[in-house]
Every structure is written in structure tokens, then in C-alpha cells.
Chain A
Amino acid sequence: MSDLDELLDQILGRSCAPGDGLDSRAWRHLTESGLDRVGIPEHLGGVGGDLVDAGDIVIRTAQAGLISPLRETLFPVAKLAELRDHAIPEGVIALDDYQVKDLSPAHRQAVRLWHALGVAAHSLGAIRGAVDQATSYVAIRHQFGRPLASHQVVRHQIASIVSELCACEAAVSHALAQAGSSRANTESVALAIASAKIQTARSSTRVARTAHQVHGAIGMTAEHPLHYFTTQLWTLPREAGGPELWSQRVYDLVHSPGQADLWAALCAQHQF
């Protein structure tokens, strides 16, 4: 296990409960440890680390149910700092605080892409959290004299969201690897990120719906932690552009004049 994973285990395992926000102990520990500045070069006020590390932090905090803007801090905000070659001003953690003014169209697009990547990573974390909630619950809740999980219909519901989760794991790790690779070209990075955004948006909706269904009424209560994940899964697909916009982007990317055909466009991501 890496140092980063261990640190996250420590902070999230000990002091984070689903629904914790910026006034929580977990958030204080995270920022005191510099985890809100990972993946950002030191001369821009960061603490080093790479994009995969930044992704890990966003995924793990979202999985723990922390409500935070890290998906912006570590992705589009960090990208902006890099493009402007300016340290992130003290206290800036979200895009709102850091206006995207005076950017060239190319830079604007880069920030948008990184925003989508951050949202995809956060969605993956929330999906992990919701799948965890659902699988735990069906094991302990009994109806008709046996656990819900012993009914095949319920097991298949669980299987379908586990599959969605696996797709999101692959989509996000692929996008992070492409985005962090110095040898990937811009189109292949855009294709990988757009695909991760589309996949996580699609899965968010499905996972939220199924996680609620298997919980029955208790999942609708304020007391049960499920909603900390599902309410986020309802809105995340609309953040940083909805899946329909990104789908058109994917269509355009694979049909750009430089691409011989669909397969060549799909393989271009591997030409490095």
C-alpha cells in the first residue's frame, strides 16, 4: 500500500462519517496534510504527486461520503494554475472562487476537460459508496424469513450495480492514466475523459435508482446514510456538462478529419 493510501485510510477511517463537510475534522486533517494540493507542482503552491494520486484522493473522499469540492480543487483549479503559471491563491478550493477569465479557447477547453475528469472521479467514489451501502443492507435485512440477498431478483440487482461500478473503475483509471501520460495526444486524452464522464453519468443514475430500490423506505430517511451518496449521484451527471454534450464531443472526436475510420480513432489512444 502506498503512503498516500495509508494516509487516506488514517484520515477517512478514523474521522470521516458520510455527510461530513468543510466544517468536519476529516476536512481539517485533509487540508493540514496538504491533500488538497496534491498533483500540483510545488512552485505553484502544491505538494507534488501526480494525477493518479489526485484522482485517488477525490475517489476515496467521495467514497467515504465527504461532501467537498476536491473534484474541482485538484482538477480544473489545478489546471488553471498550471496554465496561468500562477500559484493557487490562498483559500481557493473551487472553480467559483477562481474565475475563468481571459483564457484562450484552447485553455478554456483544457479546464473543462479537467473539470469533467474530476467529476468522473468523484462520481466513481460516490458509486462505490452507494454500492457498499446496498450490498451491506441486503445482507442484514430479512424478509420472508431470509436475507434480501438470498432472493435471486435482489442478487441480480446487486450484480448489475457491481458491473456498473467495474465499468466506472476501468473508465476512470483509463482516463487518469491517459490524462497523466506525457506521451498521449490531446485527442486521445479527450476521448478517454469524455468516455469516463459519459460512463460515470450513465452509471450514477442506474446505481442511485437500484441502491434506493433495494433499501426500501429506510433509504429515504435523513437518518440513513444512503442519501449522502445518492443525492450526489442525482446531480453529478449534470456537472461539467451533461452526458449528451460529451457524447456529441465523442462523436466529433472520432469523426474529425484526421481520423481514417472509427477503429483507427479508437486505437489512436494507444499510439504512444
Chain B
Amino acid sequence: MSTRAELSLFSETPPAEGDDVLAERRSIRAFLARASESGLFRPEVDTWLSCHSPDFTRALGAAGFIGMTWPVTYGGRNASVSQRLAVIEELLVAGAPVAAHWFADRQIGPSLLRHGTEEQRQAFLPSMARGELYFCIGMSEPDSGSDLGSVRTSAIQVDGGWRVNGSKTWTSHGDRAHHMLALVRTGQPGQAHKEALTQVIIDMSSPGVTVRPIRMLDGREHFCEVFFDDIFVPDTRVLGRPGSGWAQVLGELGFERSGPERFLSTFPLVAGLSASGASSDYLRTNAGELIARLVVLRAMTARVNTRLGDAAAPGVAAAVVKDLGTAWELDSLDLAAVWLDEAEHNEDLGRLYREAQAHSPAFTLRGGATEVMRDIIARGWEPTR
């Protein structure tokens, strides 16, 4: 499909939220109210990447909110993509700690459903949906960031499986994940990455795997370096065919880039400030504009969301959402600084602001840098005449 045809999805109106979606919103809100009252979490910003809580994730899984669109046989409940969108919006808006299961629910599960063997699905999906099994994403390497196709971690075929050597980096929660979905090189040196790359599922407890957390600028530890020293990966843990890794990763990135987490990272802060009111015209005008842009971003995500199940992933549309959404997040922090000056002193909001600021450089990098998004958008946009 041409880029122009793909991007026309933004002008199509998806069906209005039906009663099933409204019911889903009510039930996740009730769950969140109970979880917050019982002290299971307090609202934070940037929760989907940063706030890792096994207890919260298990409770959420038990309540049926992880893997909810998956078939019942794999622990899901056949919910629609619109129902899921409502649930993940509510989780992000509430500032709930969802990082433990976020990757599994968003992209690993759908990839297993699409490319996995029956044995793989049975092995992973039900425990993911219960909120007990976590995956991390093994794409980036020390020398391969934006140029993801250049990954060097190698997998060499041996009896019954593959020997993997190399390293991954910036692996979010690599120290707490049970498995990694890793992109590795199985082809010959020099072979085009379209055929040379393969996705494998690596058990993080395999002999030869070393994980080292990396200290971040705020002193926290979040992402990790991961080293593979001649580890063994059985044939049964190759996802899809050897050599089809690149195409599969591109599909995965469609899920990774188009969701509401690309503009709701700072929302708990914005909502808190909004509740404190605004007295100056400057603030009212700029806050109004910011909110209007958020209305539009929600409309954009809702439109891409209806296509996530399609055979051809809406990768260009996802890049558009990510570019505009992450720009919104940064703009929201600029305005939050003004708002904090005007609002009555509030320790909680001040803390959320500092947190968000410390995380903010990641907004326009993780999941693919803004410049890469713009390359993707421009590449396919052919002139009409």
C-alpha cells in the first residue's frame, strides 16, 4: 500500500465508542479506584516505561486487563481493539505502574499470535495475560541504534538450535524480564538485512546471559546492558522463519509507535495542574491550545488503532503519531513550568514535573528517534502529479 493510501486513514471516522467500550472504561476505572485506595500505587508520570510493579501487574492480569484482545484459549477474552484502547488510555491517565507487562501486552503478544508456533503461544501467552511473565525488547545494540538493520549479535546454527553471541543495550527492565524477544543476525556478513535477521526468544536465565543495569542521569536504574556469551537458543524459540526478522520487527514497531503512550506520558502532571486552575490569560490560552492538540492526537490514535490488526502494519501512520505525540509531551512540560509558578505550591505536582523532566529526553528517542520517524514519513510520500 502506498504511503498516501495508508495516511488516508486519518480522514476516516472510526465507529463511535459503543456501549461495550463505555462498560470497559467503567470497569477499569473501578479497578483503578480500588487499587489506588488499597495502596497498590500512587500516580506517577511516564509509567509505561518506568513504573514496574509485579503486584499491580498481577492484579491487573487477574482482572482480565492484560492480553484482553487475545483468544480465550491463550488467556485473553476476545475483546475488541477499541476496548483495549480505552483500557490502556485509562491506565496511562491514572498514572498506574504498568511497565512490567507493557511490552508483552502491546507487541510481544501480538507478534506471538501472528508469527508464533502453537507451542510458543501456549508457553507464553497465558502467563503473560495473568501478569506473571515479562518480556523485554532486544533490538538496540551499542553500535546499532537508529540503524537497527546493522545489528551484529549473531546466531549460528548448531545441532537443535542456535549459538548466540553479542550484546544488547538500553534494554528496559532487562534485569526483571523473564524473556527477551531479540533481533539477531543469522545471515552471512554483507547479506541485506531484509534476509539476514531473525527474531529469537531468549530465556534470560540461560547460562551465559549477563545483565547490567545502567545508572541514569537522575540516579535511577531502568535500562540495562545485556551480554550473550555463547548462549544456546533451541530451534523451538525462533519466532517465525529464520531470515524473516526484519519484516516482523517492522510490524512490531507499528504497534510500538502508534499508541496513546506516545502522548500521555506527562498527562498525570497536566491533569493535576489543570485541576489547580489557571488565572492568567496566557496560561488559559496556552493550556486550551495544548488540550485541543490532545483531542486531535486521541482522534489520530483511534484511527490508527482500527488498522493494527491489518496484514500490512500502518508503520507510516504510526510514525506520524509518534512524531506529533512526543512533541506534545515536550510542549506540555514547557507549559507545566509556567503553570507550576502560577499554581499554589503543591509538592506532588512539583515532584511529577521533575520526574517528567528527567525522563523527557527519552520521549523523542525511544521507539525510534524523531529524525527516523521523519525519514519514514517522507520516504513514501509521493507527489500526486
Question: Which of B7-15, B166-174, B215-223 participates in binding chain A?
Answer: B7-15
Q: Tell yes or no: B383 within 8 A of A by CB.
A: yes
- The CA of A170 and the CA of B93, in the complex, are separated in Å by 22
Question: In the complex, what's the smallest C-beta–C-beta distance from B85 to chain A, in angstroms?
Answer: 11
Question: In the complex, what's the smallest C-beta–C-beta distance from B248 to chain A, in angstroms?
Answer: 25
Q: Tell yes or no: B1 within 8 A of A by CB.
A: no
Q: Tell yes or no: B274 within 8 A of A by CB.
A: yes
Do A247 and B288 have beta carbons less than 8 Å apart? yes
Contact residues in B for A195 (Cβ distance below 8 Å): 291-293, 295-296
- The CA of A247 and the CA of B385, in the complex, are separated in Å by 37
Do A155 and B277 have beta carbons less than 8 Å apart? no
Q: Tell yes or no: B22 within 8 A of A by CB.
A: yes
Q: Tell yes or no: B287 within 8 A of A by CB.
A: yes
Which chain A residue shows the least CB distance to B379? A155
Question: In the complex, what's the smallest C-beta–C-beta distance from A200 to chain B, in angstroms?
Answer: 10
Contact residues in A for B275 (Cβ distance below 8 Å): 261-262
Contact residues in B for A270 (Cβ distance below 8 Å): 16-17, 21-22
Which chain B residue shows the least CB distance to A138? B383
Interface positions of B from 319 to 368, Cβ below 8 Å from A: 320, 323-324
Contact residues in A for B287 (Cβ distance below 8 Å): 247, 251
Choose from A136, A251, A269, A271 the contact partner of B284 (Cβ within 8 Å): A251
Contact residues in A for B13 (Cβ distance below 8 Å): 52, 173-174, 176-177
Most interface-central of B16, B17, B292, B317 (chain A CB within 10 A) = B292
Do B288 and A156 have beta carbons less than 8 Å apart? no
Query: Known contacts A169-B10, A170-B10, A262-B270: does B17 contact A155 (CB below 8 Å)?
Result: no
Do A262 and B271 have beta carbons less than 8 Å apart? yes
- The CA of A271 and the CA of B21, in the complex, are separated in Å by 10
Do B292 and A250 have beta carbons less than 8 Å apart? yes
- The CA of A194 and the CA of B288, in the complex, are separated in Å by 10
- The CA of A202 and the CA of B331, in the complex, are separated in Å by 14
Which chain A residue shows the least CB distance to B13? A177
Question: In the complex, what's the smallest C-beta–C-beta distance from B277 to chain A, in angstroms?
Answer: 7
Do B11 and A173 have beta carbons less than 8 Å apart? yes
In this complex, the interface size class of chain A, counting residues with CB under 8 Å from chain B, is 35 or more
- The CA of A136 and the CA of B297, in the complex, are separated in Å by 27
Question: Which of A80-88, A105-113, A160-168, A232-240 participates in binding chain B?
Answer: A160-168
Q: Tell yes or no: A272 within 8 A of B by CB.
A: yes
Per DSSP, chain A at the interface is helix
Question: In the complex, what's the smallest C-beta–C-beta distance from B3 to chain A, in angstroms?
Answer: 8
Question: In the complex, what's the smallest C-beta–C-beta distance from B185 to chain A, in angstroms?
Answer: 27
Query: Known contacts A251-B287, A270-B17, A272-B16: does B93 contact A263 (CB below 8 Å)?
Result: yes
Do B10 and A173 have beta carbons less than 8 Å apart? yes
Contact residues in B for A254 (Cβ distance below 8 Å): 274, 291
Do B299 and A171 have beta carbons less than 8 Å apart? yes
Q: Tell yes or no: B179 within 8 A of A by CB.
A: no
In this complex, the interface size class of chain B, counting residues with CB under 8 Å from chain A, is 35 or more
Question: In the complex, what's the smallest C-beta–C-beta distance from B102 to chain A, in angstroms?
Answer: 20
Contact residues in B for A1 (Cβ distance below 8 Å): none
Contact residues in B for A244 (Cβ distance below 8 Å): 285
Do B378 and A156 have beta carbons less than 8 Å apart? yes
Do A267 and B384 have beta carbons less than 8 Å apart? no
Interface positions of A from 120 to 175, Cβ below 8 Å from B: 132, 135-136, 139, 149, 152, 155-156, 158-160, 162-163, 166-167, 169-174
Q: Tell yes or no: B303 within 8 A of A by CB.
A: yes
- The CA of A195 and the CA of B291, in the complex, are separated in Å by 8
- The CA of A261 and the CA of B275, in the complex, are separated in Å by 7
- The CA of A271 and the CA of B8, in the complex, are separated in Å by 26
Q: Tell yes or no: A246 within 8 A of B by CB.
A: yes
Q: Tell yes or no: A230 within 8 A of B by CB.
A: no
- The CA of A269 and the CA of B7, in the complex, are separated in Å by 24
Q: Tell yes or no: A192 within 8 A of B by CB.
A: yes
- The CA of A252 and the CA of B274, in the complex, are separated in Å by 11
Q: Tell yes or no: B371 within 8 A of A by CB.
A: yes
Do A160 and B10 have beta carbons less than 8 Å apart? no
Q: Tell yes or no: A183 within 8 A of B by CB.
A: yes
Do A162 and B11 have beta carbons less than 8 Å apart? no
Question: In the complex, what's the smallest C-beta–C-beta distance from B20 to chain A, in angstroms?
Answer: 12
Contact residues in A for B374 (Cβ distance below 8 Å): 155-156, 159-160
Do A166 and B7 have beta carbons less than 8 Å apart? yes
Q: Tell yes or no: A181 within 8 A of B by CB.
A: yes
Which chain B residue shows the least CB distance to A56? B11
- The CA of A139 and the CA of B378, in the complex, are separated in Å by 12
Do B288 and A246 have beta carbons less than 8 Å apart? yes
Do B10 and A266 have beta carbons less than 8 Å apart? no
Choose from A136, A250, A255 the contact partner of B289 (Cβ within 8 Å): A250
Q: Tell yes or no: A25 within 8 A of B by CB.
A: no
Do A139 and B383 have beta carbons less than 8 Å apart? yes
Which chain B residue shows the least CB distance to A160? B374
Do B285 and A251 have beta carbons less than 8 Å apart? yes
Do A155 and B299 have beta carbons less than 8 Å apart? no
Q: Tell yes or no: A207 within 8 A of B by CB.
A: no
Question: In the complex, what's the smallest C-beta–C-beta distance from A206 to chain B, in angstroms?
Answer: 12
- The CA of A167 and the CA of B263, in the complex, are separated in Å by 14
Contact residues in A for B288 (Cβ distance below 8 Å): 198, 246-252
Contact residues in B for A149 (Cβ distance below 8 Å): 378
Do A163 and B320 have beta carbons less than 8 Å apart? yes
Do A262 and B296 have beta carbons less than 8 Å apart? no
Do A162 and B381 have beta carbons less than 8 Å apart? yes
Contact residues in A for B293 (Cβ distance below 8 Å): 167, 195, 198-199, 202
Do A132 and B378 have beta carbons less than 8 Å apart? no
- The CA of A176 and the CA of B22, in the complex, are separated in Å by 22
Can you offer 7 A-B residue contacts whose CB atoms are under 8 A? A167-B300, A173-B11, A174-B299, A192-B295, A195-B295, A251-B288, A263-B93
Additional pairs, 6, CB under 8 Å, beyond known A158-B378, A251-B287? A163-B323, A163-B377, A174-B296, A248-B285, A250-B292, A272-B16
